Amino acid sequence: MAVTLDQVAEAAGVSKSTASRVLSGSSRVSSQTRRAVQSAAERLGYRPNRIASGLRTRRSNLIGLVITNLVNASFHTITGVLQQRLDECGYQVLLCVTDADPVRERRYLEMLLDHRVDGLIIVGTGDNLATVRQVSEAGIPVVNLMRTPDGAPGDSVMAGDREGAELAVRHLLGLGHRRIAFIGGPAGVDSGRDRHAGFAAALGAAGLEPDPALCARGPYTVPFGAEAALRVMGADDPPTALYSANHEATFGALGALVQLGVRVPEQLSLVCHEEAPWFPYWHPPITVVDNGARDLGELAAEQILRRINNRPHGDEPDPQGVGRLLRVGSRLVIRSSTTGPRHPGPGPTDG
């Protein structure tokens, strides 16, 4: 015989309504009461009727997370943070990894809409705006994470990509580098566009311009990173420093540098955008722009919960249909992969 909610409430020493609030994910209970009810439910083997509950409350307690890949270390960290944070609030995450395939992405979005998820967090390709709008128009809150295509509905939680790129390039310029190569993402994606803009702005402030022979922009893939590193290192006047701003491509670039026998930092100073768990242990440890992946995950979780519960930000109005842009700052973590060039090039041109 199935265990009833009344039995769980009696075992936990609370009312049926309190037990129901705990098991439906309400935050209006004490942590002690929550533990008591959850412990009783687990001990008795209670399994709520999610379909009936959803029909009654119009809540599924499901949040869709659509993400391009888990190769990116930031995406991996963000996914872990979201799953833990949302689980603590009574939600289950439906993880949908698209491999940046627009067809697969659209199929996942339609599935999440059919399941009437309570919210959607998306690191999208930008190719399915019409379907994302359908999700939003169905009353499902949307949070765009790391990328915000033009016209995308919902809120946006973004990294300080341009700021981080400027930090990286200013650091290299301060060490005396003038031949700085750039490997970045495509111009149609926020991070690819903003990091290149920061790269160019920092060079411009020093009286320099990006050298097309030292700039490679392409997809977020390991093979592109390898090809890009070989290309820029094969320039007639090779770089003394490399800013790798395409995180997935970085893994291919590192392999290519090893293949070429390039010594870091003696022959090439290296800065990579976005931290990875093993970057501090690479030989030598890699200087990085840390984009605050954990903070991005926490902020995305907080924002989707605000929207689901229709909670405003403090005293300012925050109607459901008005999207907000929230940004997490970047910081430079200096390690041993950067030093001054062995043969410094000419200084900045006089203004």
Average pLDDT over residues 44-56: 61
> Quick one: how far is CA 30 from the chain centroid?
32
Query: Are residues 170 and 287 both part of a single domain?
Result: yes
When mean pLDDT is compared across 108-112, 121-125, 278-282, 342-346, the lowest value belongs to 342-346
CATH of residue 209's domain is: 3.40.50.2300
Collect all residues with Cβ–Cβ distance below 8 Å to 349 and sequence separation of at least 6: 207, 208
The pLDDT value given to residue 47: 75
82-95 residue pLDDT tens? 999 999 999 999 99
Question: Is residue 54 a part of any domain in this protein?
Answer: no
Q: Which residue has the tokens 């992405």?
A: 105
Question: Is residue 269 a part of any domain in this protein?
Answer: yes
Average pLDDT over the chain, rounded to an integer: 90
Report the domain count for the chain: 3
The size of the chain, in residues, is: 351
Alpha helices in the chain (DSSP H): 5-12, 16-23, 31-44, 50-57, 73-88, 102-114, 129-137, 161-174, 190-205, 222-233, 247-260, 293-308
282-332 residue pLDDT tens? 999 999 999 999 999 999 999 999 999 986 554 444 444 458 999 999 999
Query: Are residues 91 and 195 both part of a single domain?
Result: no
This prediction has a pTM of 0.79
Which residue range(s) make up the domain with 11? 5-48
> Quick one: how far is CA 102 from the chain centroid?
18
Asked if residue 68 has pLDDT above 60, the reply is: yes
Asked if residue 350 has pLDDT above 70, the reply is: no
CA atoms of 318 and 341, how far apart (whole Å): 51
21 with 28: CB under 8 angstroms? yes
Query: Are residues 297 and 154 both part of a single domain?
Result: yes
CA atoms of 288 and 335, how far apart (whole Å): 8
Question: Is residue 342 a part of any domain in this protein?
Answer: no
